[in-house]
Chains A and B, each alone.
Chain A
Amino acid sequence: MKFKEYFAIPKVNSGALQVWSRNFLYFKKTWLVSLFWIVLEPVIYLGAIGFGLGAFVNNMNGFSYIEFFFPALLSTTAMMVAFFEGTYGNYTKLTHQKTYATIMLTRVGPEEIVAGELLWAASKGFFGVMGVTLVAMFFGLIDSYRIILALPILFLLSALFSCIGMIFTSFARNYDSFIYSTSGLIVPMSLLSGTYFPLEQLPTGLRYVAYLFPLTHAVSAVREVLHKGPTLWVGVHVLVLLVATWVCMNISFFRIRRKLLK
């Protein structure tokens, strides 16, 4: 495996948009079920954890619990939706449905398939974020222009987990393979990345481990930008996410291209 091959910029043409549109067409047909899991589920979390549990917490560094929790909810929604689309969704199209093999019969090549799918899963994660944002606005949780600054960060996070999902797809042998990534990575991350409680509550060793989680950086960045505005720390966290996305994107291009064209 050549180092250069991993990090060459993939040449992608507009076929990627057709791949994206294929998924969007299906999304439009099934929007109701999507609405249920990408928006309703987070909204229930918002109610149960934010308002329910949060009612017992008085003060989180000068913010209410729901103000503390809401940035984390946006981030985990982006992560979960993009990751599940990138794993189960892509794996189905790669194997059982042979969707990619069929697309390969046209002038759309493997690079466009990967690019289109990565962009799609990222978009779907972002749709989830938008849905939760709209509901939160309805409940009066968002009262600041700062949400505009948070949205690009959340899209970047969706893109990162769309790439990570694609990498797991390239290694998966069957659907059960994804249990390792879900239970071993996604669920612990969603609990320990400063989501439900501040990182300071973690034992010292684990706190440093938590900084290896991309979600930690996303939650920190979104929380910082919503609470304080665009500070230097936001930039640092975003930089970490950008580098991670770049690396994971190239790995997923390399892995899936080799799977599609033998």
Chain B
Amino acid sequence: MSTNVAIEIKDLTKKYDDKVAVDGISLEIYKGECFGLLGPNGAGKSTTMKMMYCSALVSSGELYVLGLNVKKNYREIKSRIGVVPQEDGLDPDFTVLENLLVYASFHKIPKPEAELRAQALLRLMKLEEYQDRSVETLSGGMKRRLAIARGLINSPEVIFLDEPTTGLDPQARIWIWDFFKHLKSEKSTLVLTTHYMEEAEQMCDRVAIIDNGRILTVGTPRDLIRDLIGKEVVEFDTNPVDLNYYLGRLRAEGFSYQVIKDTVSVLIKENQEGRRVVDLIASDKIFIRKPTLNDVFLKLAGHQLRDE
């Protein structure tokens, strides 16, 4: 294994009783990169991540974190990584500062050192004036910031973040993504799950799109968009009566498209012209836009509603 690999996964599976949550995933995550696991709810991305941070047992396959086997060296792995779980898991019995100190004690960080690190992290996360408040009184954004501070208390080499911005207001989301940029600039390895495609596109060096426990594709957002979607997208609204007629015309001209209810997104390849579609379609609501990771996601994972 080369030294620039932070996480190496081979044929990883996870079964819960009769349900297969992760179905043979292979992946390499490099040191210093921000890697995004994307996928609909229940796709297996959180389970995959839980196995990486040693909170779920591996059913079969190989999983190495920082060159260490999760099946044997989980204690050492856990002391070298930081985890921000989806449900914060802050201890309501304690204050903001105590949450950090108690967590540091589990990491066996000596008390004076823990105090210093906790104070520094509270300053960094703009929480120093709340240090004696009960965590119950914090807003959602502050709780998430505290959970991030807690995940950083052992100066981890790899940081795992499960849905770090889900359920936060726009200001809190922006603040947290800015903070991740700061972490990235310090060469930390970040592994995160999210369903916010715009954020993943901006933040992640590479992403893996996961559905039904399998990896559908891996790559940089730019490459995935270019290879799977193209240079631009023409989107128009139509009605069920005209839909098939329009689709026939598009097919005849060699365009590929994806349909979500009455909205058609035409994927314009490098050698095609978006203007041509506008000539073919008589719709009031037609526009050309830049393709996004969202288009990739919908193309690969489909657009059916997920129940779980």
Contact = CB atoms under 8 A, between A and B. Distances in A.
A261 B57 contact: yes
Interface stretch (A15-23, A31-39, A72-80, A182-190): A15-23
B106 A106 contact: yes
A107 B89 contact: no
B79 A21 contact: no
B75 A99 contact: no
Contacts of B83: 105
A223 to B, nearest CB: 37
A94 interface: no
Given A25-B94, A97-B91, A107-B75, A102 B103 contact: yes
Contact of B93 (A18, A26, A103, A262): A26
B25 to A, nearest CB: 18
A105 B85 contact: yes
Contact of B107 (A29, A99, A106, A262): A106
Given A106-B79, A107-B79, A262-B16, A98 B103 contact: no
A108 B108 CA distance: 9
A104 interface: yes
Contact of B102 (A25, A97, A262): A25
B106 A99 contact: no
Interface in A81-130: 97-99, 101-109
B185 to A, nearest CB: 25
A129 B272 CA distance: 83
A98 to B, nearest CB: 5
B92 interface: yes
Interface in B200-249: none
Contacts of A25: 94, 98, 102
Interface string B80-120: 00010101011111100010001101111000000000000
A97 to B, nearest CB: 6
A19 B108 CA distance: 11
Interface in B42-82: 53, 55-57, 74-76, 78-79
A101 B46 CA distance: 14
B69 to A, nearest CB: 16
A108 B102 contact: no
Interface in B1-32: 16
A106 B102 CA distance: 11
A107 B106 contact: yes
Contact of A105 (B55, B98, B102): B55
Contacts, number: 63
B91 A106 contact: no
A99 B91 contact: yes
Contact of A26 (B79, B94, B108): B94
A42 B249 CA distance: 86
A150 B177 CA distance: 60
A15 B98 contact: no
Contacts of B108: 15, 18, 107
B57 A262 contact: yes
A15 B106 contact: yes
A101 B87 CA distance: 10
Contacts of B106: 15, 18-19, 22, 103, 106-108
A99 B150 CA distance: 14
Contacts of A97: 91-93
Contacts of A98: 87, 89
B103 A262 contact: no
A98 B87 CA distance: 9
B260 to A, nearest CB: 36
A20 to B, nearest CB: 11
Contacts of A105: 53, 55, 78, 83, 85, 89, 151
Contacts of A108: 106
A25 B99 CA distance: 11
Contacts of B89: 98-99, 101-102, 105
Contacts of B85: 101-102, 105
A29 B95 CA distance: 11
A103 B98 CA distance: 14
Task: Sort A-B residue pairs by CB-CB distance and give the 4 closest, nearest first.
Answer: A106-B106, A102-B89, A105-B83, A98-B89
Interface of B: 16, 53, 55-57, 74-76, 78-79, 83, 85, 87, 89-94, 98, 102-103, 105-108, 151, 154
7 contacts: A26-B93, A26-B94, A102-B91, A104-B55, A105-B55, A105-B151, A107-B107
Given A25-B102, A107-B107, 10 more contacts: A22-B102, A22-B105, A101-B55, A101-B85, A103-B106, A105-B55, A105-B85, A106-B79, A107-B78, A108-B106
